[in-house]
Amino acid sequence: QPAQSFYDEIGGHAVFTGIVARFYDGVRADPRLRDLYPEEDLGPAEVRLRMFLEQYWGGPRDYSEQRGHPRLRMRHARFPIGLAERDAWLSAMRSAIDEAPITGEQRDRLWDYFVMAADSLVNQWA
């Protein structure tokens, strides 16, 4: 029997949907983030991030079926992401995972990943 994925372990679709919904509430509330998002409707971006994270953590592979290879650095290249934007993104994500119904250890695992991933997407050093 295969080991349970982290996706299943933390509660699957419902928990990822909740985290990403709260994250986008934070994006809407922070002009530093909101102004970077090209579309007026953040709904589709919310679905993309949710599908990506579900896939990354061992859940359904809808992201790649709909979007292909993630190539996150390439997909972020057109947005100017400096340290301030990285910190704003991480702050919105921190609030979102703080409210998720998961254990401290699970929260730490998500957080370490988000810090690493956000650092890797910084593309402005001026």
Residue 96 touches ligand HEM, criterion: CB under 6 A:
no
Which of 92, 16, 89, 23 minimizes the C-alpha distance to 58? Answer: 16
* DSSP state for residue 5 in the 8-state scheme: P
Output the smallest distance, CB 6 to ligand HEM, in A.
14
Backbone angles phi, psi at 35, to 5 degrees: -70, -20
Which of 30, 34, 45, 94: binder of ligand HEM (CB under 6 A)? 45
Q: Does 50 engage in binding with ligand HEM (CB under 6 A)? A: no
Helix H, strand E, coil C: the string for 81-120 is CCHHHHHHHHHHHHHHHHCCCCCHHHHHHHHHHHHHHHHH
Among 9, 17, 117, 123, binds ligand HEM (CB under 6 A): 117
> Binding ligand HEM by CB under 6 A: which of 22, 34, 76, 94?
76
The answer to whether the CB of 93 falls within 8 A of the CB of 23 is: yes
Stretch of 3-11, 15-23, 34-42, 103-111 lying at the interface with ligand HEM (CB under 6 A): 34-42
Contact residues for ligand HEM (CB under 6 A)?
36-37, 39, 45, 48-49, 52, 67, 72, 75-76, 79, 81, 85-86, 89, 114, 117-118, 121
